[in-house]
Amino acid sequence: MSEKQITIVGLGSMGQTLASLYIAQGYQVTVWNRSPGKAEALVARGARLARSAAEAVRASPVVLMCVYDYRAADAILALDGVATAMDGRLLVQLTTGSPQDARDAEAWAHRHGARYLEGAIQAAPDQMGQPDTPILMSGAEPVFRTAEPMLRVLGGGIVYLGDKAAAAAAMDLATLSTVYGTLIGFLHGARVAEHEGFDVAAYGRIVAGIMPTFAGFLQHEAEVIQSGDFAISQSPMRISVEATQRILDTAQQAGINTEFPAFAAGLLKRADGAGLGGEEFAALIKLLRR
């Protein structure tokens, strides 16, 4: 069994990038995609296009799947001969999904005699293959350690999260929650800036400048939650109760959209009402746990 054989199932923008990276590293790459036309450029560079998904799975000891979502992944795994062909293979599922999707996919793989790893890619296609490309991985440790050199072709920033297959999907959702929370707040800030006649690009640069400090603050708040000691250490919750109320009041006076500040101020006001105002900001989690 050659160590440099891999099958890539799914040739969307991410799957094509993954296949390219393995071709560039001298792997024998077999590809399959629902629409075979997307394989043309890869075939021109030496990839082999399988005639069916089952043939693609049989071609290599490692099958790396990266399709739109788990409905697409399940549809492919249900194709003729795929389950049988999976016996003895390693299925690396890089399709983004939920923790339950990952648990179900791992159970499916084990039922069909395959080993399983779950991955969550946290980068865009043109950021893949870099020394710091972030990819979360989970699944049985011996399986991960064996596959690690092959997975490192995709990026050097692989973080292994342990035996539970669902961990990568769960941590992906957790980090995405931070991303979307920040993005929505950022866009409300852009509305404040443009309403006040400021250069929004300058606002973007100022935000970028505070990000390293903000990242340090997030880490501190996570440590507070983990420790369970919510005594004020950096940022009293009451300051944020007032700040979010001020953002809301200002939006109302300016006549700009109030959805984000109304949500944030509402949550902080409830936390204050629940007696958490005199604790560290992270104590808000006590409200979220209810």
Q: Contact residues for ligand NAP (CB under 6 A)?
A: 10-15, 33-35, 38, 66-69, 72, 75-76, 95-96, 121, 124-125
For residue 58, give every residue at least 6 positions away whose Cβ sits within 8 Å of its Cβ, in sequence order, or none. 85
For the bound state, the minimum distance from the C-beta of residue 70 to ligand NAP, rounded and expressed in Å, comes to 8
For the bound state, the minimum distance from the C-beta of residue 175 to ligand NAP, rounded and expressed in Å, comes to 12
8 Å CB contact between 139 and 166: no
8 Å CB contact between 155 and 135: yes
Q: Which residue lies nearer to ligand NAP by CB, 74 or 242?
A: 74
Read off the DSSP letter of residue 132: T
8 Å CB contact between 280 and 233: yes
Q: Which residue lies nearer to ligand NAP by CB, 77 or 264?
A: 77
Q: Which residue lies nearer to ligand NAP by CB, 161 or 283?
A: 161
Helical segments of the chain, H only: 13-24, 40-44, 53-59, 70-77, 82-85, 99-111, 141-151, 166-195, 200-227, 237-254, 259-273, 284-288
For the bound state, the minimum distance from the C-beta of residue 38 to ligand NAP, rounded and expressed in Å, comes to 5
Residue of 123, 133, 139, 140 lying closest to 158 (CA atoms): 133
Q: Which residue lies nearer to ligand NAP by CB, 155 or 277?
A: 155
Secondary element (H or E) of residue 8: strand 5-9
Q: Which residue lies nearer to ligand NAP by CB, 125 or 157?
A: 125
Q: Which residue lies nearer to ligand NAP by CB, 65 or 283?
A: 65
For the bound state, the minimum distance from the C-beta of residue 179 to ligand NAP, rounded and expressed in Å, comes to 12
For the bound state, the minimum distance from the C-beta of residue 208 to ligand NAP, rounded and expressed in Å, comes to 21
8 Å CB contact between 68 and 38: no
Residue of minimal Cβ distance to ligand NAP = 12
For the bound state, the minimum distance from the C-beta of residue 56 to ligand NAP, rounded and expressed in Å, comes to 12
